[in-house]
């Protein structure tokens, strides 16, 4: 009886904690929606739980602002984020597969080298990166924001760890015995097994590229090629007399919607992978 009571009490406390954490996550999103419906004057008056009536007007103000080409910003952010998610997950998984399956003399040094790159801050190599893309005439383009995603040490390490616990090498050997080539083995045998890990890292890579401000601010100068974080920053730094907080909140709300859509689309692969992992034995 005591064990049952402790078990019920623990379950109640766990559910209460989860409800509290869910409330914290959703509360700030709700406040963002509320602020996107209020005017600049109303926002200056203070906090409010109740939504305003200026949602459509704030949306029109954002869409009709010639200084902030929002549709171009959404398209640019989608191109950059999607490209980064695809390149980082695929090539990082391929790199992890090579280091996990093959045995060669420089295997450990190669792994350590990638881990050393992982702890190197982006700001350290920003000046050299800017000089490189300028000499290659790639400045003020989207290519420098997408192509470097091919080398993503964090995604590589996650994929490598996932392979260690979920990819038996006997499966790869069986595919080779059946006459499958290395690329075919990776694409048709290994890659489907990695779907949960790929979905997780695709979400993180997409969100990271979508919210990235530092590198696009260094590279992009033309307004029609700017991503959404730069446009949000330009609205916030506008002249005080022209500053409209309602437009800023509306633009932030617009910037969050694609992230939610991507998560809802990819989350099913995560659930499928967890379910498969629970029954495969």
Is residue 22 classed exposed, middle or buried when 0-12, 13-18 and 19+ CB atoms within 10 A define those classes?
Answer: exposed
Distance CA(257)–CA(73), nearest Å, equals: 14
Nearest to 186 by CA among 219, 148, 159, 205: 159
Distance CA(234)–CA(221), nearest Å, equals: 12
- The pLDDT of residue 156 is 92
| Tens digits of residue pLDDT in 194-234 | 888 888 889 889 989 998 888 898 899 888 888 988 888 87
Using CA atoms, how far residue 187 sits from 31, 198, 217, 248, 277, in Å, is 44, 13, 36, 43, 20
- The pLDDT of residue 128 is 85
Q: What is the phi/psi pair of residue 101, to 5°? A: -85, -40
| Tens digits of residue pLDDT in 164-192 | 888 888 888 888 888 888 888 898 888 88
The percentage of the chain sitting over the pLDDT mark of 90, rounded to a whole number, equals 15
Q: How many residues does the chain have?
A: 281
Tokens 């050393």 found at: 116
38-42, 196-200, 266-270: which range is least confident on average? 266-270
- Reading the block at residue 107, the tokens are 């295997």
Is residue 7 classed exposed, middle or buried when 0-12, 13-18 and 19+ CB atoms within 10 A define those classes?
Answer: exposed
pLDDT range class, residue 93, cuts 50, 70, 90: very high
- The pLDDT of residue 151 is 86
Is 80 exceeded by the pLDDT of residue 83?
A: yes
| Tens digits of residue pLDDT in 142-168 | 999 999 999 889 999 999 988 988 888
DSSP string, the chain: -HHHHHHHHHHHHHHHHHHHHHHHHHHHHHHHHHHHTS-HHHHHH---SS--S-HHHHHHHHHT-TTS-HHHHHHHHHHHHHHHHHHHHHHHHHHHHHHHH---TTHHHHHHHHHHHHTS-GGGGHHHHHHHHHHTT-TTSSHHHHGGGG--HHHHHHHHHHHHHH--HHHHHHHHHTT--HHHIIIIIIHHHTHHHHHHHHHHHHHHHHH--HHHHHH--SGGG--HHHHHHHHHTS-TTT--HHHHHHHHHHHHHHHHHHHHHHHHHHHHHHHHHHH--
- The pLDDT of residue 278 is 40
pTM listed for this prediction:
0.82
Please give the domain boundaries of the chain with CATH numbers for all domains: 2-58 (no CATH), 66-279 (1.10.3720.10)
- Reading the block at residue 154, the tokens are 């964090």
């Amino acid at each position: 009886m005591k064990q049952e009571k402790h078990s019920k009490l623990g379950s109640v406390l766990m559910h209460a904690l989860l409800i509290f954490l869910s409330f914290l996550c959703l509360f700030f999103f709700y406040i963002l929606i509320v602020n996107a419906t209020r005017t600049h004057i109303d926002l200056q008056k203070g906090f409010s739980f109740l939504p305003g009536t200026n949602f459509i007007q704030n949306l029109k103000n954002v869409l009709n602002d010639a200084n902030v080409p929002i549709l171009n910003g959404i398209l640019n952010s989608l191109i950059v984020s999607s490209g980064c998610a695809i390149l980082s997950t695929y090539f990082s998984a391929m790199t992890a597969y090579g280091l996990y399956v093959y045995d060669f003399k420089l295997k450990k040094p190669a792994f350590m080298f990638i881990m050393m790159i992982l702890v190197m801050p982006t700001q350290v190599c920003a000046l050299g990166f800017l000089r490189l893309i300028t000499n290659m005439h790639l400045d003020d383009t989207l290519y420098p924001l997408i192509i470097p995603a091919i080398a993503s040490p964090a995604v590589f390490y996650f994929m490598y760890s996932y392979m260690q616990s979920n990819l038996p090498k006997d499966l790869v050997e069986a595919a080779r015995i059946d006459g499958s080539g290395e690329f075919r083995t990776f694409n048709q045998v290994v890659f489907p097994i990695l779907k949960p890990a790929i979905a997780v890292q695709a979400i993180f890579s997409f969100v990271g590229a979508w919210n990235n401000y530092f590198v696009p601010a260094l590279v992009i100068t033309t307004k029609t090629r700017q991503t959404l974080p730069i446009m949000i920053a330009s609205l916030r730094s506008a002249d005080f007399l022209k500053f409209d907080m309602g437009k800023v909140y509306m633009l932030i709300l617009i910037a969050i919607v694609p992230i939610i859509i991507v998560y809802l689309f990819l989350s099913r692969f995560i659930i499928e992978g967890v379910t498969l992992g629970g029954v495969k034995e």
